[in-house]
Structure 1
């Protein structure tokens, strides 16, 4: 029996049976009205916006993909142009630095040559009498104290090798940061130099720069400047003096104890050795200005 009241597909076929109810077939139009509540035209109209929505969504996705690709293309082009400009700027700066270094080396050679000529002329004029020779002796002592003359002699060499340099050239002079690749700081080298003076050194150089009365050693970002000249690892510290006594005293100094602590804690490589014929260059000579009290009005 159908779910529709009074409708049976086999209606009329069993009418000969007694007491059998008579089923009235339901017309197809009435059946469609009862079962199909939405007209086919409405269903098609309802499906059309969905299709248009899907098409519109796909179109927006394509537009978004095109925009993303355009943005990435522009970013890549800009990055390529910027990288090219950065490389050109770096090449220009490197060229300028090398040119300045070459000019500085030429000027230093010229200065040394003129200094040697002046010294030879002065000695030739003063060596003729006793007074002049005494002046030369006093002058030599003053120049040696001022580190104004090169020194050759026996002594001690301390080589300190940093485990690595950090690419980040930020200011590390305040503290030693755990995990930083740079370990040796200006205060470490200062302590070593002071310990060598106490141990009996007569002349000292750090990184090829002579230590004199007006020479400073300080941190500048991630580098160390000695007399405003950059020095880098491995740091070579040369000290001219009695090698045996000086090395024995330095082995008990606070400077070597600091280096050994850094060696054990951070992997710094420290090498202390004695030797003959150490060559220390002359240091920079600067004019010393003295302040004087002016008369009060």
Structure 2
């Protein structure tokens, strides 16, 4: 007899023996349910999914290997290009450094020549004007104007302020001591400006910062990580000299906003501040510049 749906009517039967029970045949479907816990269709889908995962895994590995090879290729090419261009960059840096040094030397020579010519002009002018009363009066007015313009060197007693930048902290990860984000510089141009203004208010007659005389056309400004006084770079320690009555200037200066700012920087950032008096300070002359006035065309 032909079985339907996998059912064998003779399954489980044995040949008839006397006095023995007849076994009920077990269908193939029930045996499959007991032995196979997953439907054949689901099993086939799971097998197909697993094969797909394996294929995707191999594809993923292949893409990763290709990406790694591409990155390595780009890196090798960049290193090769850097090695190729490095000599040219170094040579260009040397050329620029030489140009800067040459320009600085030229400026120094021209400044020295200008100072010599200014002394010759002053000497010649005095010789011609000192002969009569009118010339002496004119010389007196010129001396007063030159002193007000900081065009003459001065010597005398006064006050010396030394401000030292603490520089880079030993703990490079500590940003609590950074006054400006990403910068290790604490002393800024506005600090020196306020100190100079406080010295003028305190009665100073002449002031210099970093060896540069402060005059009508002299500026103190920030330039990146440095400070320029009259376009000349200065660095820590910043020495500020002020000629005037030492003790009276110091008494007023100690109560000024400039000192208060320095003391605040001293306590907060570790800036070094030293204020002392001196009986013999020497301040250079400030270069005199021509003042040009603009006017409207047609007037």
Q: 1:90 aligns with which of 85, 93, 102?
A: 93
What root-mean-square deviation, in Å, do the aligned CA atoms of Structure 1 and Structure 2 show?
3.0
Counterparts of 1:1-297 in structure 2, within 5 Å, are 71-164=74-167, 176-177=179-180, 180-290=183-293
- The offset of 1:74, in angstroms, is 3.1
* Cα distance in structure 2, aligned partners of 1:155 and 1:187: 23
- The offset of 1:219, in angstroms, is 1.8
Could you give the per-residue CA deviations for residues 130-188 of structure 1, whole angstroms, max 9, x where no partner exists? 1111111111011000000111111111111112279xxxxxxxx94256311111111
The 1:136/1:178 distance shift into structure 2, 3 A limit, reads: same
Could you give the per-residue CA deviations for residues 27-49 of structure 1, whole angstroms, max 9, x where no partner exists? xxxxxxxxxxxxxxxxxxxxxxx
The 1:73/1:122 distance shift into structure 2, 3 A limit, reads: same
| Structure 1 unaligned residues grouped into runs of 5+ | 1-59, 167-174
- Please give the secondary structure, in 2, of the residue aligned with 1:148: coil
- Please give the secondary structure, in 1, of the residue aligned with 2:131: coil
Of 91-100 and 217-226, more deviation after overlay is shown by 217-226
| Structure 2 unaligned residues grouped into runs of 5+ | 1-62, 170-177
- The offset of 1:76, in angstroms, is 2.4
The 1:72/1:143 distance shift into structure 2, 3 A limit, reads: same
Q: TM-score, normalised by structure 2?
A: 0.70
Aligned residue-pair number: 233
* Cα distance in structure 1, aligned partners of 2:158 and 2:266: 23
- Please give the secondary structure, in 2, of the residue aligned with 1:274: strand
